[in-house]
Amino acid sequence: MPITVSIVEDSDRFRTTLARVLDRAEGFKCVSHYPNAEDALKGLSQVKPEVVLMDINLPGMNGVECVRQLKQLLPTVQVMMLTVYEDTENIFNALAAGATGYMLKRTPQAQLLDAIREVHRGGSPMTTHIARKVVLSFQQSAASASATENLSPREQEVLDCLAQGFLYKEIAEKLGISYETVHTYIRRIYEKLQVRTRTEAVAKFLRR
């Protein structure tokens, strides 16, 4: 039996080309394709393909949110991202949403078909470049965890408030300390984490 595949991709040209490639390849069948997430969520629950190829940058709902909702509708469907984005944030957001593979659109056809077979078998195919980013991110997370362990309990509380989006004044009120004391704690946090901005500090905190 051929592997049934659906495509969610807003580029008409790329979508139809990919569908043609699948239908001409032995062991594959493109059962549906959609230009946006909204249409995909309506149709996929009826078609129930084995594998879905998902773009990220879609009009309206993006591909990551589509994956999240699709996995609630079809928990056993295997989703492989097929996108031009190769930044760490998009990769991890997609994997966290439920995608089990992440390939780039420039991937050669033969390699892409192999990746679909792999994700269908329960694997997690990624290009070498993407896989390296994942490994490096885990290594950085381990380093970040050890850095946050050096914070005092009060510094941890202040950093937690920063991560929740509290303003300095709100942190002072929540923790019952002065505005100036908040500044002192934050300066110490930056020094211990070796960061210079709130965003960098929160990013290290969230990677624990």
- Which band of pLDDT confidence, cut at 50, 70 and 90, is reported for residue 30? very high
The domains located in the chain, with CATH, are 3-126 (3.40.50.2300), 134-206 (1.10.10.10)
pLDDT tens per residue across span 191-207: 888 877 777 777 777 66
Q: Give the model's pLDDT for residue 134.
A: 66
Q: Give the model's pLDDT for residue 55.
A: 97
Q: Which of 44-53, 58-67, 164-173 has the lowest mean pLDDT?
A: 164-173
* pTM, two decimal places: 0.66
Q: Return the C-alpha torsion angle 92, 93, 95, 101, nearest 10.
A: -80
Q: In this predicted model, which residue has the larger pLDDT, 124 or 148? A: 124
What are the helix (H) ranges across 79-178? Answer: 88-97, 109-120, 128-148, 153-163, 168-175
- Which band of pLDDT confidence, cut at 50, 70 and 90, is reported for residue 145? low
Q: In this predicted model, which residue has the larger pLDDT, 9 or 169? A: 9
Q: Is residue 70 a contact partner of residue 44, using CB atoms and an 8 Å limit?
A: yes
